[in-house]
Amino acid sequence: MIGLNNSKAAMAYGGLMGTTSGVAGGLAATDKRLVPYGAMTATFYTGLGCLLGPSLIYIIIRAIMGG
């Protein structure tokens, strides 16, 4: 229905959704062959956010507080 019929579309969808379990469930309902691509992308972006998020927040708060 939303055009997920190849690995590139699945990876874009996975990146936009952000959660591996949600992406895997949604792609499994669409096409089981696309699950690994979406899950891989969602895992990458979730990990990237967990690594960079706290550092960026720290830098922003430090800049605001003048430290």
User: Is residue 3 within 8 Å of 34, Cβ to Cβ?
Assistant: no
Q: What is the pTM of this model?
A: 0.51
Alpha-helical (H) ranges within 18-34 are 20-30
Higher pLDDT, 13 or 52: 52
Closest to 31 in 3D by CA, of 12, 3, 55: 3
- pLDDT exceeds cutoff 90 at 64: yes
- pLDDT exceeds cutoff 90 at 16: no
Mean per-residue pLDDT over the chain, rounded: 78
pLDDT of residue 14: 63
